[in-house]
Chain A
Amino acid sequence: MRQFALSIVLMLSASWASAFEAENVAWFGPKDSERVLRIISTADIAFFEPMIASFLNATPGVAIDYTVASSTELQKAIIEERQSFDLVVSSAMDLQTKLANDGWARRYTSDATSALPSWAVWNDMLFAFTQEPAAIVVSKTGLGDLPIPQTRNDLINLLRQHPDVFRGRTGTYDVRQSGLGYLFATQDTRASEIYWRLTEVMGGLDVQLFCCSSDMIDAVKSGELLIAYNVLGSYAINRPDHQDYAIILPSDFTTVMLRTALITSTAQSPELSGRFIDHLLAKSHGPNAAPLTSSELDLGRVEPSLNRIKIGPGLLVFLDQLKKTTFLSEWESAIFQN
């Protein structure tokens, strides 16, 4: 996605610029409102706007100052610059967990939070409001009469049997650049050893590395790629042209990322933030939910194989510098085999 591409540029520029770089800013609600909720988020405006609109509808007189930033810039804004945001909404579960663990989040409980399933809340600080699976995106036309793989094993067999077809035409995240790619990859290794076999097979077939899901989807659509592994399923399904490619939720296990929100410890309007969290959770969970992600990816259908990433200190393990160095060197040796 464009924002991710931009965030790389901003990340590089952030080394000399002192202030964090916002990708986009927007103001919702009355211009002169006294009650302003400041949200910093990794989700772009179009994705989050329906939630903001329904909240403002239910809570007149309130304005929302919405800032979009990459997950790295978001950390910088909160930790280094102590910007006074009320809410942090992010898909970087590990960084969100670290923010909460390191004391940047405020505890909040309400009827809505206590009704949450246990996987969707951590320490009354982090609240999950989406479930977004990592999918395999396959070009229907490019694959021809080859079978569409349903598991990683299928995928490995397919790649091994037709190396000439797939050489240079598979893609996945560059986990050194993408926080989400790193999160998916590390969680895959926790779930099964098969990730390393797949990575080695793809490495042997000159896998192309991408910064973001949207670029991979574009590449599949254009025919540059036949198969993209660990694509954010919610982005793939939310595109209007999603009929052009197949979105596979691997039936051996499907890693699911949770988008989470937290109230900052420095929040100026904690009460309003709490109401926004309640609204967010009411819209995302339960029988009357209207989730932000398309319901066409029917997660309930693959519930037994769902591997929801557990919010908690386990996520801190892969943020450990020593651990990350070890992991990345293993990953590099699997990808770059010559």
Chain B
Amino acid sequence: MRRATANGSLRRRLLLSLLASSAVLAIVVYFVVQSVARQVAQDSQDNVLTASALSILDSARLSSGEITIDLPYSALSMLDSISDERVFYAIRLEDTFLSGYADLPQAVRSGGAGPAYVSTVFLGEEVRVATVGRRVSTDTGQRYLHVSVAQTLSGQKQALARISRTSMGIGAGFFLVSVLLAGIISRSTIRPLDRLTASMSRRGPRDLRPVAAPVPSEMVPLVTSLNSFMRRLHQSLRRSEDFIAEAAHRVRTPLAVVRTKAEVAERKSTDPETRKALTEMIRAIDDSSRTAGQLLDHAMVTFRLDHLTREEIALHRLVEESVERTRPTSELKDITLDIADLDTATVKGDPILVQNALLNLLDNAVKYAPAGADIKVALNAGPQDAVIRVTDTGPGFLPSELSALPKRFTRGANTQSIVGSGLGLTIAKEVIEAHGGTLKIANTTGGGACVSLLFPLS
């Protein structure tokens, strides 16, 4: 059978798309957490800077027309309380620098009051600057006092590194959970398909019943067309079997008439040439009617296999009967037909089919064994199976043909002189396989053929 060409895998495609989307989500989670945390860290730093700047601003006093500022110790020490930071400040009365670091940039707020912030580089390091201001009354009128406080970012960077690690962990954890879920999801999604595949592969070769088990809605069209396909296949098979049976049946009766006429003519004829021709004709007619008979048998077997009954079959009795039925034919050829061994065994199945199979084997043995040969039939019951073995002292099978023989219309190369259709082994094989057993053909050590039917005892 030709294996279907695989083009990608649904499960893999599903898994990959799930993984890709969860990877994207994990990255998004990582960046969102980080940006939120960065904002929070920035805000808290800004708040501390503002508090520091406001405490300096609050210490400004007007004494005798001059502005004095009593820089609170905590204003600068609070900026260093959690992590060591470099700290800068500048106090300005409008454009006049009063104290601190004269070069420190001032954060400017575009419109509105309240603290202003700017990130910049000062004295070789990144700093965050907060600037607050308020109006003060001096001798020269209302003037504006600005206080800027700046801090390096080492504490913030530590916090961000910690947050970065945490959000990396969150992202990775999210991804791991997604991987797990993706595995489960893709498996469970594909499961109905696997189930259908398994139920289809478990079926016997002739099982063309429609699939009845419920399937997901996406698979309904596939299963519907599969069912319809099988129905058509079944019909077509049935039609061709019917046709063959019908044809064989129609051919057999006229053949019988022709044979009788030919025999009569042979008996009456005195011309040796005519007699010889008529003998050959009868032989050909025998061949044809035997084929027609086997075709009918085969059609019958096929039909019964479709509706296999399961009755108790006493194999030993069946063997005895079949041997007795074959005995007249064997005696015609001077062939000794014996039951060598007869255990008692009972199997379940269709007795007519099993007998037909056995008769075909016996028939073959009688037909292909030379005159004066011995045919032995044995029934052995073991713990696992019951074996009916038919052995003869004929020429045996050609070793090269052992596997091809049980196929339909295949005949051995050493049987040219004998009438036969090539259906006997096929019928036996189909029957035994329908009963869950196997057919084995081999040669005995003496060179004769040995055909066995193995029935499982379960």
A contact residues vs B (CB 8 Å cutoff): 100-103, 121-124, 190, 265, 310, 312-314, 316-318, 320-323, 326
CB pair B76 A314 closer than 8 Å = yes
Interface string of B147-159 (1 = CB under 8 A from A): 0000000100000
Q: Which residues 65-79 of B have a CB within 8 angstroms of A? A: 68-77, 79
CB pair A323 B71 closer than 8 Å = yes
CB within 8 A of A317: which of B73, B86, B101? B73
Q: Please give, as numbers and ranges, the residues of chain B lying within 8 Å of A321 by CB-CB distance.
A: 99
Q: Please give, as numbers and ranges, the residues of chain A lying within 8 Å of B72 by CB-CB distance.
A: 317
Q: Please give, as numbers and ranges, the residues of chain B lying within 8 Å of A121 by CB-CB distance.
A: 84
Q: Which residues 124-141 of B have a CB within 8 angstroms of A? A: 124-125
Q: Please give, as numbers and ranges, the residues of chain B lying within 8 Å of A326 by CB-CB distance.
A: 68, 70
Q: Which residue of A lies closest to B81 (CB)?
A: A312
Most interface-central of B86, B101, B123 (chain A CB within 10 A): B86
CB pair B100 A320 closer than 8 Å = yes
CB pair B77 A322 closer than 8 Å = no
Cα-based distance from A1 to B71 in the complex (angstroms)? 32
Whether, in the assembled complex, B80 has its beta carbon less than 8 Å from a beta carbon of chain A, the answer is: yes
Q: Which residue of A lies closest to B79 (CB)?
A: A313
CB within 8 A of A123: which of B84, B91, B99? B84
Q: Which residue of B lies closest to A189 (CB)?
A: B73
CB pair A312 B84 closer than 8 Å = yes
Give 20 CB contacts A-B under 8 Å: A100-B86, A101-B87, A103-B124, A103-B125, A122-B84, A123-B154, A190-B73, A312-B80, A312-B84, A313-B79, A313-B80, A313-B86, A313-B87, A314-B73, A314-B80, A316-B76, A316-B87, A317-B72, A322-B98, A323-B99
CB pair B79 A317 closer than 8 Å = no
Q: Which residue of B lies closest to A321 (CB)?
A: B99
Chain B nearest CB from A227 CB (Å) reads 28
Cα-based distance from A316 to B86 in the complex (angstroms)? 11
CB pair B87 A322 closer than 8 Å = no
Q: Which residue of A lies closest to B52 (CB)?
A: A313
Chain B nearest CB from A92 CB (Å) reads 18
Q: Please give, as numbers and ranges, the residues of chain A lying within 8 Å of B75 by CB-CB distance.
A: 317
Interface string of B73-110 (1 = CB under 8 A from A): 11111011000111110010000001111000000000
A320 in contact with B71 given A310-B77, A312-B80, A314-B76 (CB within 8 Å): yes
Tell me if B's interface is mostly helix, strand, loop or mixed.
mixed
A322 in contact with B71 given A100-B86, A312-B84 (CB within 8 Å): yes
B contact residues vs A (CB 8 Å cutoff): 68-77, 79-80, 84-88, 91, 98-101, 123-125, 154
Chain A nearest CB from B3 CB (Å) reads 66
Cα-based distance from A303 to B98 in the complex (angstroms)? 40
Q: Please give, as numbers and ranges, the residues of chain A lying within 8 Å of B84 by CB-CB distance.
A: 121-124, 312
CB within 8 A of B70: which of A101, A123, A323? A323
CB pair A103 B99 closer than 8 Å = no
Q: Which residue of B lies closest to A126 (CB)?
A: B84
- The 6 residue pairs across chains A and B that have the minimum distance between CB atoms: A314-B77, A313-B87, A123-B84, A103-B123, A313-B76, A312-B80
Q: Which residue of B lies closest to A186 (CB)?
A: B73
Chain A nearest CB from B147 CB (Å) reads 12
Q: Please give, as numbers and ranges, the residues of chain B lying within 8 Å of A103 by CB-CB distance.
A: 86, 123-125
Chain B nearest CB from A260 CB (Å) reads 13
Chain B nearest CB from A324 CB (Å) reads 10
Q: Please give, as numbers and ranges, the residues of chain A lying within 8 Å of B76 by CB-CB distance.
A: 312-314, 316-317
Cα-based distance from A310 to B87 in the complex (angstroms)? 15
Q: Which residue of A lies closest to B122 (CB)?
A: A103
Q: Please give, as numbers and ranges, the residues of chain A lying within 8 Å of B69 by CB-CB distance.
A: 320, 322-323
Most interface-central of B69, B72, B74, B84 (chain A CB within 10 A): B84
Q: Please give, as numbers and ranges, the residues of chain A lying within 8 Å of B77 by CB-CB distance.
A: 310, 312-314, 317
Cα-based distance from A321 to B101 in the complex (angstroms)? 11
Q: Please give, as numbers and ranges, the residues of chain A lying within 8 Å of B123 by CB-CB distance.
A: 102-103
Cα-based distance from A312 to B85 in the complex (angstroms)? 8
Q: Which residue of B lies closest to A316 (CB)?
A: B76
Cα-based distance from A326 to B85 in the complex (angstroms)? 26
Chain B nearest CB from A143 CB (Å) reads 35
Q: Which residue of B lies closest to A100 (CB)?
A: B86
Q: Please give, as numbers and ranges, the residues of chain A lying within 8 Å of B71 by CB-CB distance.
A: 317, 320, 322-323
Cα-based distance from A65 to B320 in the complex (angstroms)? 123
Q: Please give, as numbers and ranges, the residues of chain A lying within 8 Å of B85 by CB-CB distance.
A: 123, 313
Cα-based distance from A326 to B70 in the complex (angstroms)? 7
